[in-house]
Amino acid sequence: MSDKITNVLFLCTGNSARSIMAEALMDRLGGGRFKGYSAGSHPTGQVNVHALALLQSHSFDTGFAASKSWDEFASPGAPVMDFVITVCSDAAAKTCPVWPGHPSSAHWGIPDPADAAGSEDEIRVAFQNAFDRLAKAIANFRKIPLSAMDADQLAARLADIGRRI
């Protein structure tokens, strides 16, 4: 059994909601085997208040949460990523930096709850739905026998998770 921690970077455009929630979920659900990170192609500079409230309602410490550029993770000295997962279509369509270590990548499209309109309850439901979908995807991801799969098998599994959420 390996003691290596698997680093997973979640990308979105603004790094204010979905990728932040995914980072928190990976850290919690990863059981010490995975470390989550998040970033955006065009970070908003602040984490969405509804994302913070939702995380806090699920007893997450939100002290980690900051909206940051993906450039931080493509520069020398940054943690080497094993996986890079986009969680919104905007980030998936953009040309990503070349990541040190050439990590596996996948796209898990989740509607942006920050775009939700309506009452406060409707907005909370949109955030909860995104959170639940991310939790399901991450729970499935952590069950993958990473060391038993080649790159093509792993890419297929990651794509399958994205299709099923």
The DSSP secondary structure of 45-102, one letter per residue, reads SS--HHHHHHHHHTT---TT----BGGGGSSTTSPPPSEEEE-SHHHHHSPPPPPTT-
CATH of 6-164, one of 3.40.50.2300, 3.40.50.1820, 1.10.150.120, 3.40.50.620: 3.40.50.2300
What local confidence, expressed as pLDDT, does residue 2 receive? 57
**Is 12 marked active-site?**
yes
Average pLDDT, the chain: 90
Residue that has been written with the tokens 């990651």 in this structure: 158
- 21, 85, 88, 137: the catalytic one is 88
Residue ranges of domains in the chain:
6-164
Cα–Cα distance measured from residue 3 to residue 68, given in angstroms and rounded to the nearest whole number = 28
Mean pLDDT of 20-42: 95
What percent of the chain is predicted at pLDDT more than 70? 90
Instruction: Copy the structure tokens of residue 49.
Output: 């208040």
Instruction: Answer yes or no: is pLDDT of 114 > 70.
Output: yes
**Is 132 marked active-site?**
no
- Which residues have C-beta within 8 Å of that of residue 24, sequence separation ≥ 6? 36, 55, 60, 62, 64, 65
**Strands across the sheet with 34-40, in order?**
34-40, 6-12, 83-86, 104-107
**Is 60 marked active-site?**
no
Instruction: Answer yes or no: is pLDDT of 90 > 60.
Output: no
Mean pLDDT of 63-78: 91
What local confidence, expressed as pLDDT, does residue 55 receive? 98
What local confidence, expressed as pLDDT, does residue 4 receive? 87
Mean pLDDT of 125-148: 95
pTM: 0.91
- 74, 96, 149, 154: the catalytic one is 96
Mean pLDDT of 24-44: 94
Instruction: Give the pLDDT band of residue 151 (cuts 50, 70, 90).
Output: confident
Report in angstroms the alpha-carbon separations of 70 from 49, 98, 146, 165: 21, 11, 25, 24
Q: What is the DSSP letter of 9?
A: E
Instruction: Copy the structure tokens of residue 135.
Output: 């939790």
User: What is the dihedral angle through the alpha carbons of 24, 30, 35, 41, rounded to the nearest 10 degrees?
Assistant: -50
- 8, 9, 12, 25: the catalytic one is 12
Cα–Cα distance measured from residue 2 to residue 4, given in angstroms and rounded to the nearest whole number = 5
What local confidence, expressed as pLDDT, does residue 1 receive? 45
Tell me the residue type at 44. Answer: T
